[in-house]
Amino acid sequence: MSEAAIEEYGMSKKALRLLKAARPLYKYPNAVYWLRKLLGDPLLLKETNWNKDYRFAYLLTGGTSLSPEDNRAVGILLEDLYQYLEAYVNPSGPKKPMIWSEWNLSNEILRVFDVNAYIPETLAVLGHLGGTDAAVKIIEEAENAGLPPEYCSAAKCAVGGYLLNESPKPDAIITSSHPCDSVVSSYQALEKLTGAPMFVMDTPYWKDEDSYLYYADQLYELIGFLEKVTGQKMDWEKLKQVCRTVNATNAHLQEISEMCRAVPAPASSLHLLFHWLGRMACFGSPAGEQYAKIMHANAKKRFEQGKGYLKEEKVRVIWYDVPVVFEILHPWMEKEFGAVVVADFIGRIEQFQIDTSTTESMIRDLAKTHMSVTMARQTHGPAEFYTQELKRLIEEYSPDCFIFVRHQGCKGGWAAMKLIREQCQKTGLPALFLNTDIFDRRVVSSHRIREQVTNFFRSNNLA
């Protein structure tokens, strides 16, 4: 076990130390930009003993890729993340209820209550701060305890993190039946292990008004559950405010997603993946909106000037299914091959605006947004939710190739592989199907992944 993870909240404390050091720097985004340029490439190369504590954080926040303007936005997001971690690592003031929320849920309602929210899958990301082997140890803890190895590694990190005292004890848990069986199963284990009461959103299979209403009804039940466990009352005015913040954030992020259709793309999915850090810190925060606003403004400026995010955009990639988190490839791909991910599965936003004029319309539209959160919208129903979105991306984003990550935990994705592959084959464009795991480096090594990507680009004359 790495030193950082022996103590309680070891990984989170490490993250806090890094954030504490990084926060003042991000007040000077130009300095951050030049510092990265100086440090740059060695940290992009393979993980070593001397760089492993920082490499992941470095790559997660964009490597050498981000412009000073974008760094300013990331700095704001990191503040939010800092507060999120501080809330349970160094709590101050009166004790607040600790509510766990499954990572693929949207947490506007939680933000309204005076609670601390925690996403158990946080460890799947933060666990890499001690190097990829630190994350493996968290995963192994879950496997050693008897959890099935074939679970998604995010689920194993959630359980392993709890068993290793990396996660704060919950007073209640909220989960759902999407995106997959790993969540359905692992949260039953977490409920039992923690003894905390749990509320489950039963995600409908279809996308129609009836389904949205069913989900909306459950949101009312969720509110009732939260009122009961927290002893607090729902503040509808505050929820309206949060929803307006969410609307603004989503509008900005969605427009960034849309702008990436331009050639050259004024942004990349890397910009949008960052906001997932914000999701860990409770979606709907003013900082999240500010981040989105700045990123949007930067991207729009480049778009209006006909400039690409990369100086020389050589390859446009559609990246489908999840990113590889233990080896964040985007900065390396951009630098090495001029390859920008113009559309992807997780970062890209397709959202509804929430009508806050009445409580009913607000809750109904919240239901719609919940079911449209990335990963939820593609996985909660039939394979068409995957393939039709992919078809649209192909038509709209002028790709040169596809990279499809076959995350070993994603059984529903694997079971639709033929249908997805056919979408790619129809275009005649090259497609790389990477067999790997999103968080667990034991399945396929970083070296092997880079080798496959390199061979793919070279053998298809993309590099």
Q: Output the smallest distance, CB 129 to another protein, in A.
A: 18
Q: Is 304 in the site for another protein (CB under 8 A)?
A: no
Q: Output the smallest distance, CB 182 to another protein, in A.
A: 5
The 376-415 site mask, x for binding another protein (CB under 8 A), equals ------xxx-----------------------x--xx-xx
Q: Is 206 in the site for another protein (CB under 8 A)?
A: yes
C-alpha dihedral, 237 to 239 to 240 to 243, nearest 10°: 170
Q: Output the smallest distance, CB 352 to another protein, in A.
A: 21
Q: Which residues share a beta bridge with 174?
A: 101, 199
Q: Which is nearer to another protein, 208 or 312 (CB)?
A: 208
The distance from CA 459 to its chain's CA centroid, rounded to whole angstroms, is: 31
70-129 residues in contact with another protein (CB under 8 A) are: none
Q: How many CB atoms lie within 10 A of CB 175?
A: 23
Q: How many CB atoms lie within 10 A of CB 130?
A: 22
Asked if 360 contacts 366 with a C-beta cutoff of 8 angstroms, the reply is: no
Rounded CA-CA distance 126/85 in Å is 11
Q: Which is nearer to another protein, 387 or 460 (CB)?
A: 387
Paired tokens of 92: 């101050």
Return the range that interacts with another protein (CB under 8 A); candidates 13-21, 196-204, 225-233, 360-368. 196-204
Strands 116-118 and 98-101: parallel
Which amino acid makes up residue 339? A
Paired tokens of 200: 């489950």
139-178 residues in contact with another protein (CB under 8 A) are: 140, 143-152, 155, 175, 177
Of residues 199, 227, 202, 239, the one with CA closest to residue 109: 239
Count of residues of this chain found to bind another protein when the rule CB under 8 A is applied: 58
Q: Which is nearer to another protein, 398 or 445 (CB)?
A: 445
Q: Which is nearer to another protein, 181 or 355 (CB)?
A: 181
Q: Is 205 in the site for another protein (CB under 8 A)?
A: yes
Of residues 109, 54, 326, 55, the one with CA closest to residue 224: 109
The helix/strand/coil state of 340 is strand
Sheet with 198-201, side-by-side order of all strands: 116-118, 98-101, 172-176, 198-201
Q: Output the smallest distance, CB 137 to another protein, in A.
A: 11
Q: Which is nearer to another protein, 315 or 367 (CB)?
A: 367
Q: Is 447 in the site for another protein (CB under 8 A)?
A: yes
210-269 residues in contact with another protein (CB under 8 A) are: 210, 214, 217-218, 221
DSSP state string for 249-264: HHHHHHHHHHHTTSSS
Q: How many CB atoms lie within 10 A of CB 418?
A: 9
Burial class of residue 303 in the structure, from the number of CB atoms within 10 Å of its CB (0-12 exposed, 13-18 middle, 19+ buried): buried
Q: Output the smallest distance, CB 175 to another protein, in A.
A: 7
Among 417, 425, 426, 455, binds another protein (CB under 8 A): 417
Q: Output the smallest distance, CB 151 to another protein, in A.
A: 6
14-73 residues in contact with another protein (CB under 8 A) are: none
Return the range that interacts with another protein (CB under 8 A); candidates 69-77, 227-235, 253-261, 439-447. 439-447
Strands 116-118 and 315-320: unpaired
Residues interacting with another protein, by CB under 8 A? 133, 136, 140, 143-152, 155, 175, 177, 180-182, 184-189, 191-192, 198, 200, 202-206, 210, 214, 217-218, 221, 382-384, 408, 411-412, 414-419, 441-445, 447-448
